[in-house]
Amino acid sequence: MPVDSEVTIVTVYPDLLGTYGDGGNGSVLRGRLVARGMRASLLEIRSSTPVPETADIYLLGGGEDAPQIEAARRLRASGALSKAVANGGVVFAVCAGLQIIGESFVDGDDKPIDGLGLLDLRTTKMGGPRAVGEILLESSLPGYSGRISGYENHSGGTQLGTGVKAMGRVLVGTGNDRHSRCDGAFSGKVVATYLHGPVLARNPKLADYLLKLIVGEMPAIQDRTLVQLGKQLHGDRVAAAYRSESKRGVLSAWRSLRG
Ligand code: GLN
């Protein structure tokens, strides 16, 4: 894409899929383009409005069970995201968004609901308590090394098929399920994760990874305050994840001592 053309970012259904500040992902992407002197527009497409098919980046956030089912129904009926991917668009989906763009997930009665089939993954109930708390990954994305921090809150557990790879290895927290120690998935320009945060604010490098899929190599951001704040937030949240892990360890040792 020519450097001077405008990058269009779409936040999909913020009225249904917007828990834990995931709507902030769009602002981060736009802000990092503008800070480089590039042009960007951010469209918030509510569920009553048709989703455009030729935007550059599509963002889906987390959601409660009922809005999630409604979002999946509307997106399946429109077919817009499949066409957007065929047009070369990037999709970045968080939690409920991850479950929706997979092959299937389940409702509260364990009845399977069709997803959009953009990623080869399936979600069922994990069983046991919800996975809630700080989560930390080691990235498995191509050309991206380093840690990715976030916050998770989900009851679904996701199994990956052979058509995708995990986005990261879990260092702290749960991720896709209780066994695989991996989180999220990617295939081509479709990337999904359980990490809220907003995850792109906590991990500016992940924001730039997604932008590069569309615009290629980008100039460095000159605004030192912005760069510094991003680094500081990333470092603080990585440290918070390790602290929460040691707190969980102390708690479970205390519980086992009490018998
Ligand atoms: N409703 C889904 C679950 O609990 C997704 C939750 C979320 O997006 N935070 O698994």
Q: Tell me the domains of the chain and their CATH numbers.
A: 7-258 (3.40.50.880)
Nearest to 70 by CA among 38, 96, 103, 42: 96
Q: Could you tell me which residues come within 8 angstroms of residue 197 by beta carbon, excluding any fewer than 6 positions away?
A: 20, 21, 22, 24, 149, 150, 151, 203, 237
| Burial class of 153 by CB neighbour count within 10 A (0 to 12, 13 to 18, 19+) | middle
* CB of residue 204 inside a 6 A radius of ligand 1: no
Q: According to the model, what pLDDT value does residue 259 have?
A: 64
pTM of the prediction? Answer: 0.95
Q: According to the model, what pLDDT value does residue 249 have?
A: 74
Q: From the alpha carbon of 97, which atom of ligand 1 is closest?
A: 8
Q: According to the model, what pLDDT value does residue 80 have?
A: 97
What does the radius of gyration of the chain's CA atoms come to, in whole angstroms? 18
Q: According to the model, what pLDDT value does residue 2 have?
A: 65
The strand pairing partners of 172, in sequence order, are 136
Phi-psi region of 71 (alpha: psi -120 to 50; beta: other; left: phi over 0): alpha
Residue 211 near residue 229 (C-beta atoms within 8 A):
no
Residue numbers of the chain with a pLDDT score lower than 50: none
For ligand 1, atom 1: residue with the closest CA: 65
Q: From the alpha carbon of 63, which atom of ligand 1 is closest?
A: 8
